[in-house]
Chain A
């Protein structure tokens, strides 16, 4: 605990600050300012801590978080600052999974609730919903013991004609054994999205089993015998991989395939792109042109567009040509996950519901071994493995919600909350890099699943404009990917910089109003029932009733009762303090709701935004 610590306004040019006390707990860093406002920061959220050179007012300490919060403290005594710095460094770097918050987090659920929570998302059920197994696709037990591929789930769906030797042979010809398997099956078109890793083709190697595998996939589609093979990498990268004995499919060796590069950059490019983006958006006194050129130079929106363009290509192949598509990148767990999941989301409206989106993440990201632990740096590891691949996926979805405001059951807060928990390590879902690792960690026994918690508070995540019948004849979304449709996601990268947000949120208002409408409908029913009852009541009953209840009768005679102008609103705002441990500061959306509701800010910071007076 350190007192008299100053929390600086990140963008203030005149060093506006709040003074308060800083506490370190086992899991959180807590700052309580003089007006008792609390700022909670989970240690796992801390991406970097930096000590700046000593100033007259004390020792500055800058903490960058994975949820893009940046806090700037000034600690009066250098010694304290040094201590905090060291403690934070230790606390934010975890060496073992078992030390992560999820293993100590206790939401007061009993055992059966915990088990039920983990059963909420059932992928076998999901494949059934898609229509597999069926005449052409079956469940394979080849990987039941993770013998063929450690990073795949146990249950895999493959073409019926793909025999075990073909599977085994194909897996040996694919990087990390990640052979082609089903990711999404389109019932109406009978076409499939399949995923795998790059082939170990080098300059000339080929593998008959792998060729058979692809043939089996194309044959499993009675509507179109041609299939697409989408390599989501830039061509140059794929060619460079050939030198390392990897590479891409040679169209001549595979029958009936159409090969296509779609050019999404690798994890290292994405990491540095985000870095640049954050550098620009974090600048004080940023000019419009610096912002726009910084945005351009970061390449971030270009990458988002590339991801969505790839998904659109995939969707066209399926929806227009009824062709199956095999998607891969290098290892088939980053770009492949992005493209497969976005493709499915565009094709199938189920994934645009709250539950469906959870299923989609469980399927294409968690079960197929997107390396959440490495990419989000859950454990202290190789910084070169960190990459915002999943963030890009969420951002692509957000862009779609902007273009199709009625097509999604969930809202922006839902996406932000998932992003928050991918990094929080508070729930077991995203821990580890693959299913095998998760089983070894016994996550289902030792930790809790995030999804039931999100479902419990789904009121917060509902899009009030959602129309389930949106584009009824086809559930297909056809986004427009012209550059000007992609916008900087302010609410993600500046979610904690409230001075930049609209002061009144239409969305929250509509959300509350929509909730209130439901309540009012109930009220009307109730009132109508009461009136009806009253009309039918005999006087005798009435008298009796009144003897019991109504005492202040005389006053009612003269003045008609006063009506409250408004029925108390459903307290959506303060009703939700569900996830324990994540205090106000963590669940900033509820904070927003309160803050954004119609009240005008009485005192607003004039520092930023409003011009500085210079004479």
Chain B
């Protein structure tokens, strides 16, 4: 769907502030949004003040899981900070650490769902818990008393691996902010389709999937070529893996070409075909033009898929389409890649050779390059070749999203999520990393900044919002997420939050952007992978200074214009007097 990206509220611009100033740096990264919900040490001004909206300490569901709700004299260790002593509390969804120091009270709120793994160690009666978070942070808590420590560890373990989605924090979270716009209604298909129908009438909205009856993993409303009726769509769905029939993903206004997404065709070994499927995708081509099918599997894998009933589009049946195989890795390979990369980044003792070889062995940047390359290819087909593109892999749920991401749009699409399986295939993180790479190469072409991407990364893994829960629209609607949870977009779409995520250098332009995917042009995303492993004070301060220069520039320009106007008015007045 041609989504107009992320909508920033028009008046959401931050007011210009005075001359560049050096602002005392926050403890590490810029302060995190939303109090208490995220993973950041919160400085609470009055010692002991409650940081805001909190669920009852332990709802009934969790009471039995929390064996020791509170421990005193706990010492918190974090890289680049002095150890702090304080009190540890466990609630149904949070681990809360608060230091007792009067002068500089500090609280750390950690969502249990952000906890990826915990380790225990004992030296005498002093227990140590090492908590590894999904946002890649690692903290250590020293807890006096073996029993307390064991209790706390097992409670955390239980609370961080809750089975039921409905026990997750988003179902308990009650926002304290004023909702300007309900994020659940921010990106409705009908509205988006209106935008589309203003430029073309070749497409229609189909409600064929209303009750998720045709394709359980598709949204209820999809955009398909006008000439294809619902009956044909049903037949096409039978021919595609998981019934994910080709639907519109992106419409290129410049030439009317489109990107479609689907899953693999079920050709099987005997080369089954489906006339409706052929007709559907052919309907997107201009007379005499060819289209491209980008298969995100290698030719080998695609051929092997035939044995399991899957397959790929045969040339004979799709003569107007050229098939290109662009292998993008999936699942455990990506997962392993991430694990290796994080391991490499977390080990500070590596010498140069070891660091480089670990970075290489993780293959993470290779995956980034593959995905960017496939995406550039799709964009090139559409923009330069004037051809429509169909992108699919096997199920059409993972790589399709990325490869299918057109650069013109440059914005995070409403993400889909694999919920708890997420961690096992960091597809979304890869996608964000790719966006970050492009953002680095085109720093003026994005309305959002790096913080926005990092925020999405955090919320995809652990959040108080329901946006990333569930695996598809079907599940989300069964969970009644819009009714029972708050949308991330409701929170983000407020000027005070938006301003944190806006790129001051942004200048809208509708040109297609072509990033370089040369290895020399790709970089490790330090904002995510080295975030907790190096002090960032100097970089943050420099960034702040940069923003100040930009703000100051705007302010000066406004002032000069105002003065000019004033002067000109005076001149006009003078002339009038003169004429009198």
Contact = CB atoms under 8 A, between A and B. Distances in A.
Given A482-B348, A528-B563, A490 B521 contact: yes
A510 B356 contact: no
Secondary structure of the B contact surface, majority rule? helix
3 closest Cβ pairs, A-B complex: A405-B542, A291-B519, A483-B355
Contacts of B329: none
B476 to A, nearest CB: 35
A609 interface: yes
A287 B380 CA distance: 20
Contact of A302 (B323, B352, B376): B352
Contacts of B517: 609-611
A611 B578 contact: no
A153 B260 CA distance: 72
Contact of B568 (A469, A488, A514, A561): A561
Contact of A600 (B509, B520, B561): B509
Contact of B578 (A288, A293, A524, A553): A553
Contacts of A567: 557, 560
Given A406-B545, A527-B564, A499 B516 contact: yes
A563 B324 contact: no
Contacts of B578: 542-543, 546, 553
Interface string A382-419: 00000000000000000000011111000000000000
Contacts of B560: 520, 523-524, 527, 567
Given A499-B516, A516-B553, A613-B324, A465 B542 contact: yes
A487 B522 CA distance: 11
Given A287-B366, A289-B363, 20 more contacts: A289-B360, A406-B541, A482-B350, A483-B356, A494-B520, A502-B443, A504-B445, A506-B505, A514-B549, A517-B549, A530-B567, A531-B563, A546-B575, A560-B569, A606-B380, A608-B516, A609-B516, A611-B373, A611-B374, A615-B323
Contacts of B570: 531, 534
B576 A557 contact: yes
Interface string B509-539: 1010111111111111000001001110011
A569 B143 CA distance: 61
Given A480-B534, A484-B524, A609-B514, A503 B442 contact: yes
A542 to B, nearest CB: 5
A305 B352 contact: yes
Nearest to B509: A600
Contacts of B352: 296, 299, 301-302, 305, 483, 486
B365 interface: yes
Contacts of A528: 563
Interface residues of A, number: 85
A513 B550 contact: yes
A543 B563 CA distance: 22
B556 A517 contact: yes
A281 B520 contact: yes
Most chain A CB inside 10 Å of its own CB: which residue of B322, B549, B570: B549
Given A531-B570, A610-B377, A510 B557 contact: no
Interface in B566-580: 566-572, 574-579
B444 A509 contact: yes
Given A542-B574, A613-B324, A302 B519 contact: no
A609 B376 contact: yes
B365 A404 contact: no
B357 interface: yes
B345 interface: yes
A482 B348 CA distance: 6
B22 interface: yes
Interface string A458-480: 00000011010100000000001
A255 interface: no
A604 B514 contact: yes
22 contacts: A288-B360, A289-B366, A291-B519, A291-B520, A296-B352, A465-B542, A483-B355, A484-B524, A484-B534, A490-B520, A500-B516, A502-B440, A509-B505, A514-B549, A516-B553, A520-B557, A534-B567, A546-B578, A600-B445, A606-B514, A610-B376, A611-B373
B317 interface: no
B542 A524 contact: no
A578 B479 CA distance: 68
Interface string B319-336: 000111010000000000
B519 A556 contact: no
B324 A487 contact: no
B384 interface: yes
A483 B545 contact: no
A539 B566 CA distance: 18
Nearest to B507: A598
Nearest to B556: A520
B424 to A, nearest CB: 23
Interface in A1-48: 11
